[in-house]
Amino acid sequence: MPDNNGKNKKELSTEMRLLIAFVLMGLVLFVTPYLYKTANPPASKGPDVTPLKTADVGKPPALATAVARKEPEAAEDAAPVQAAKEEIFVVDTPLFRATFSNRGASVRSWILKKYKDLNGKQLELVNQPALAKVPGPLTFEFRDQHPAVDLALALFAAKPTSDNLGIDYEYSDGKLIAHKSFRFTNNSYLAQVSSEVIQNGVQIPHVLAWRGGFGDPTIHNAASAERNVFSADGRLKTKVAKDAKNGPVAESGAFAFAGIEDSFFASVFLPKGTANVDLVTYSDSIPAPPDGKEVAYVGAGVGSGAINQFSLFVGPKDSDILRQVDPRLEQLIDWGRFFGFIAKPLFFALNWTNDRLTHNFGWAIVLVTIAINILTFPFRLTSLRSSKKMQALQPEVARINEKFKGLGIRDPKKAEQNQEMMALYKKHGVNPVGGCVPMLLQIPFFIAYYTVLTVAIELRGAEWLWVHDLSRPEQLAIRALPVLLIVTQFLTQKLTPPSPGVDPSQQKMMMLMPLVLGFMFYYASAGLVLYWLTGNLVAIAQQWIMNRVTKVPVIEAARPVSKSKRRT
């Protein structure tokens, strides 16, 4: 058999090999329990299989092999590869600091240095309270065939790389062999991960699981923002904790990537090659802040069989970063199903304005909103002219209403009243719902702004004047932007000509609309309130100019029909 230097050793006699085998077995049986406090698994009743040689244990999974033999000398070179105590290893780069434990070869902490949580601390992606209830992220999980040893508790032997940007973990008890390795680079959120599990020479399929939640734990109702994601047939699909309430649920396919995410961050595996990928969804009850009440957090396990070789992205859902790592990862940013065609260009417009002009996302929102209102001004102008004509038709509308006064909704003459009213509008070219056009135009942009502020990490933590984070509500005792919005909404309604024929009581009810909007926006993100407030200010300016420049048209009143003509 070749040694580590490639030279051939002299072949040992059968007696000597048996003697060495018995000595080694004695050492394993009697010395190992005192050193490692680890019990050997029961002997397999299947065919004799030689485990991996000790020299092969440190090799990558693709190079490690096991050969079946008929001779009962399978364990001659078997030796435990374990650690005596728990050891911590830290990968520290300019972008993140990941802390690993050799217990389960798992992650204990993953901090993104360039992002902060709501408490102003560097963002911790691992849900720390979950570590008391579930294994740490990236531990082995098994579905059908389970090894004799719980690898989540096993103490792996650790071998860091010379540059401290990687680590190899190995575990062996002579029958069960497990390997896991990580490789990182200094200025990338992308890592290389491999794993393999063999028991009695048989490879065991497994997944690497991140359980107990993921992402920013300090946001309100963090568990609801977390979900499993996978890209199948070019479309992003999701799973949540509720889907696994009755136990783990598995999806399988030729996924471009699979993993777990929250609103702004993701941990996803990208397979190498075209092999099928398994995504297992877990649901774990974990105490959630601030009251410690248990909440169901989603977990994700990803694997491709007994040997896993993945690229692993753990970082922000920044469009530029995702595109550089893999263009397919841009699917992680969900721009919305119905108004995504507005939300995505809107984000690019905000980003360009911030980069080239304002260097502040708050002022970028102001400028882009003004630009949107200028582009939609022709529709507003048509609406303003329609409102002026409606105002001039007030006497005629009042005359028709007086003519049919006291009619019930189901009265047949009510249809005649509506016909006369529509004939009046048609004669003078008036659209009775034209005044609603400006409001209707705002709705798609409102939804698009809401989406951008929800998924675009570039606006997370963006400051503007007294606002510390445009993606969240103001943190003042009395939020100033919603109060200003209420004032401007009152002014907008005051300057807008009243619609003719509207009952005075209805007009009074409409004056409550600013308060309703103020209540709704009081709990909205500051960026969304800033958008609506800016739109109100532009509308006030446009309405004031139109009221000054445009006069109410004079419409000749209809002449009453004489009694003589009626008789004829």
End-of-domain residue from the set 316, 332, 348? 332
231 close to 237: Cβ distance less than 8 angstroms:
yes
Q: Is residue 520 part of a domain?
A: yes
Same domain, 324 and 348: no
End-of-domain residue from the set 295, 315, 332? 332
Q: Is residue 398 part of a domain?
A: no
Same domain, 318 and 359: no
Same domain, 249 and 380: no
Question: Under DSSP, is residue 338 helix (H, G, I), strand (E, B) or coil?
Answer: coil
Question: Which of 135-139, 223-227, 289-293, 536-540 has the lowest average pLDDT?
Answer: 289-293
- What does the pLDDT read at residue 59? 40
How far apart CA 84 and CA 35 sit, in angstroms, is: 7
Task: State the amino acid at position 97 in one-letter form.
Answer: R
Q: Is residue 97 part of a domain?
A: yes
Q: Is residue 243 part of a domain?
A: yes
Is 50 exceeded by the pLDDT of residue 88? Answer: yes
Same domain, 286 and 360: no
- What does the pLDDT read at residue 433? 61
Average pLDDT over residues 471-495: 90
Q: Is residue 32 part of a domain?
A: no
Q: How do residues 450-461 score in pLDDT, each as one tens digit? A: 999 999 999 999
Is 80 exceeded by the pLDDT of residue 516? Answer: yes
Same domain, 361 and 432: yes
Element (H, E) at 404: none
Same domain, 307 and 362: no
Total of domains in the chain: 2
Same domain, 262 and 368: no
- pLDDT bin (cut points 50, 70, 90) of residue 525 is very high
Same domain, 235 and 379: no
Average pLDDT over residues 34-51: 39
Element (H, E) at 297: strand 293-305
End-of-domain residue from the set 332, 350, 383? 332
Q: How do residues 133-159 score in pLDDT, each as one tens digit? A: 999 999 999 988 899 999 999 999 999
Same domain, 248 and 316: yes
Q: Is residue 375 part of a domain?
A: yes
- What does the pLDDT read at residue 24? 56
**Percentage of the chain exceeding pLDDT 70:** 78
- What does the pLDDT read at residue 568? 42
List, in order, residues 6 or more apart from 505 with CB less than 8 Å away: none
Q: Is residue 29 part of a domain?
A: no
Strands (E), 162-276: 166-172, 176-183, 190-199, 202-203, 206-210, 227-232, 235-239, 249-253, 258-261, 265-271
Handedness of CA 228, 233, 236, 240 (dihedral sign): negative
- What does the pLDDT read at residue 514? 85
- pLDDT bin (cut points 50, 70, 90) of residue 427 is confident
- What does the pLDDT read at residue 499? 56
Q: Who has greater pLDDT, 197 or 563?
A: 197
Question: Which of 71-85, 451-465, 469-483 has the lowest average pLDDT?
Answer: 71-85
**DSSP bridge partners of 196:** 179, 307
List, in order, residues 6 or more apart from 164 with CB less than 8 Å away: 91, 92
Torsion angle in degrees (nearest 10) through CA of 31, 36, 39, 40: -70
Same domain, 122 and 225: yes
Q: Is residue 232 part of a domain?
A: yes
Strands (E), 325-449: none
Mean pLDDT of the chain: 81
Question: Which of 468-472, 486-490, 512-516, 556-560 has the lowest average pLDDT?
Answer: 556-560
Same domain, 463 and 521: yes
Same domain, 484 and 375: yes
- What does the pLDDT read at residue 43? 40
Task: Indicate the pTM of the whole model.
Answer: 0.75
Task: State the amino acid at position 347 in one-letter form.
Answer: F
**Percentage of the chain exceeding pLDDT 90:** 55
- What does the pLDDT read at residue 188? 95
Q: How do residues 290-336 score in pLDDT, each as one tens digit? A: 888 999 999 999 999 999 999 999 999 999 999 999 999 999 999 98
How far apart CA 344 and CA 347 sit, in angstroms, is: 5
- List the CATH number of the domain containing 95: 2.70.98.90
- pLDDT bin (cut points 50, 70, 90) of residue 463 is very high
How far apart CA 524 and CA 516 sit, in angstroms, is: 13
Q: How far is CA 554 from CA 270, 431, 544, in A?
A: 70, 17, 20
Most trustworthy range by pLDDT among 108-122, 330-344, 391-405: 108-122
Question: Which of 44-48, 106-110, 300-304, 370-374 has the lowest average pLDDT?
Answer: 44-48
Question: Under DSSP, is residue 265 helix (H, G, I), strand (E, B) or coil?
Answer: strand
What is the residue range of 103's domain?
88-332
Is 90 exceeded by the pLDDT of residue 56? Answer: no
Question: DSSP secondary structure string, 102-170?
Answer: TBTTEEEEEEEEEEE-TTSSEEE-B-GGGGGTSPPTTEEE-SSS--SS-TTT-B-EEEE-TTSSEEEEE
The two beta strands, 277-288 and 249-253, are: antiparallel
- pLDDT bin (cut points 50, 70, 90) of residue 72 is very low
- What does the pLDDT read at residue 505? 57
